[in-house]
């Protein structure tokens, strides 16, 4: 049986995460409001420029999509939180509802992070770092997820001297997005692999392969569009953010079918000293 101290810790953690996520939601909506006001002003000043109309339309679509996707997990978290206040609830159910609340709040947090990354766009800060350090950080983040799902995660071993110049956090986020998608696409017992090639050329190529079912033909042309997703749950911003990060660094991203089934996403970024003119 779970001890009272453990229950209290679970509840405190769930409510702390709820409070933190609520603050991030408020900040995200303020950012959306500011962006909307700025773009509306630009639209009026430009007297109907097509590009700015498209940006305003995209922002409105984003606000509507985010509101739609936040509604269900937030309502579910509130429902579970309501259960936690029931005095007759037994210890096992209390811990179970606390965990379910935490799960929904973590999902909300990820939605907010994706939205803010997309809104902020290419406002990046460049540093120079080794690929070995980058891959080590990714391993610490994703190996527990792969283990929990029963998927083998193979990460590249690279030359310790290989370096990139760019926004490390943004590049790490882009690769984590690609690997998380691959983990979700792969069945239990599947394999997700990150390889890095390109040494001696201007661009590093990060290739993320999975052993999933692949991408339906009718979805391939829209893979990198904002808000497009083939999953029932998700912001639909992950691959759009990957493309945004790639282009901001002077690179690009592409998809190809994996030999033997599954998918391969390739992210191309300039090596140290090979441009990065956009960062």
Q: Per residue of the chain (279 residues), what is the pLDDT tens digit?
A: 556 666 666 666 766 666 677 677 666 666 766 766 676 666 666 555 666 666 667 666 666 666 666 776 777 778 878 878 888 888 888 888 888 888 778 777 777 777 666 666 656 788 999 999 999 999 988 898 899 899 999 999 888 888 899 998 889 889 998 999 999 899 999 999 999 998 778 899 999 999 988 888 888 888 888 777 766 556 667 788 899 889 989 999 999 998 888 999 999 999 865 554 444
Statement to judge: residues 103 and 188 lie in one domain: no
d(CA 211, CA 276): 33
Statement to judge: residues 93 and 140 lie in one domain: no
d(CA 270, CA 163): 10
Q: Is the pTM of this model over 0.75?
A: no
Statement to judge: residues 14 and 66 lie in one domain: yes
d(CA 150, CA 144): 10
Statement to judge: residues 255 and 136 lie in one domain: yes
Is 278 within the bounds of a domain? no
Q: Provide the pLDDT for residue 210.
A: 95
Q: Provide the pLDDT for residue 278.
A: 44
Statement to judge: residues 97 and 217 lie in one domain: no
Statement to judge: residues 135 and 113 lie in one domain: no
Statement to judge: residues 95 and 174 lie in one domain: no
Statement to judge: residues 105 and 143 lie in one domain: no
Statement to judge: residues 113 and 213 lie in one domain: no
List Cα–Cα distances, 186 to 15, 110, 130, 179, in angstroms.
33, 20, 29, 10
Choosing from 57, 90, 120, the residue where a domain stops is 120
Beta strands in the chain (DSSP E): 127-130, 152-155, 163-166, 191-197, 203-209, 252-257, 263-270
Is 276 within the bounds of a domain? no
Q: What is the DSSP string of 167-205?
A: -HHHHHHHHHHHHHHHHHHSPTT-EEEEEEE-TTSSEEE
Closest CA to 209 of 140, 266, 252: 266
Overall number of domains in the chain: 2
Choosing from 96, 120, 144, the residue where a domain stops is 120
Can you name the residues that pair with 196 across neighbouring β-strands?
206
Token readout for 109 is: 């947090």
Is 70 within the bounds of a domain? yes
Statement to judge: residues 93 and 197 lie in one domain: no
Q: Provide the pLDDT for residue 38.
A: 72
Statement to judge: residues 24 and 42 lie in one domain: yes
Is 275 within the bounds of a domain? no
68 lies in which domain range?
4-120
Statement to judge: residues 145 and 238 lie in one domain: yes
Closest CA to 211 of 226, 180, 190: 190
């Amino acid at each position: 049986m779970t001890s009272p101290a453990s229950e209290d810790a679970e509840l405190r953690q769930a409510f702390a995460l709820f409070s933190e996520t609520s603050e991030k939601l408020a900040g995200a909506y303020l950012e959306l409001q500011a962006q909307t006001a700025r773009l509306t002003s630009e639209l009026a000043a430009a007297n109907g420029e097509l590009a700015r109309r498209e940006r305003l339309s995209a922002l409105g679509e984003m606000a509507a999509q985010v509101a739609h996707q936040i509604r269900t997990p937030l309502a579910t978290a509130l429902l579970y939180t309501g259960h936690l206040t029931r005095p007759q609830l037994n210890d096992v159910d209390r811990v179970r509802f606390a965990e379910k609340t935490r799960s929904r709040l973590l999902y909300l947090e990820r939605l907010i992070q994706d939205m803010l990354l997309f809104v902020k766009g290419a406002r990046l800060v460049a540093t120079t770092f080794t690929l070995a350090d980058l891959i080590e950080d990714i391993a610490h983040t994703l190996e527990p997820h792969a283990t929990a799902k029963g998927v083998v995660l193979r990460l590249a071993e690279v030359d310790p001297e290989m370096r990139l110049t760019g926004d490390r956090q943004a590049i790490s986020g882009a690769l984590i997005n690609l690997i998380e998608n691959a983990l979700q696409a792969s069945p239990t017992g599947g394999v997700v692999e990150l390889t890095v090639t390109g040494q001696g050329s201007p661009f590093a190529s990060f290739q993320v392969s999975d052993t999933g079912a692949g991408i339906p033909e009718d979805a391939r042309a829209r893979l990198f569009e904002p808000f497009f997703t083939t999953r029932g749950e998700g912001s639909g911003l992950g691959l759009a953010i990957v493309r945004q990060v790639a282009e901001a660094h002077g690179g690009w991203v592409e998809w190809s079918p994996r030999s033997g089934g599954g998918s391969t996403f390739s992210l191309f970024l300039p090596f140290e000293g090979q441009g990065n003119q956009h960062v």
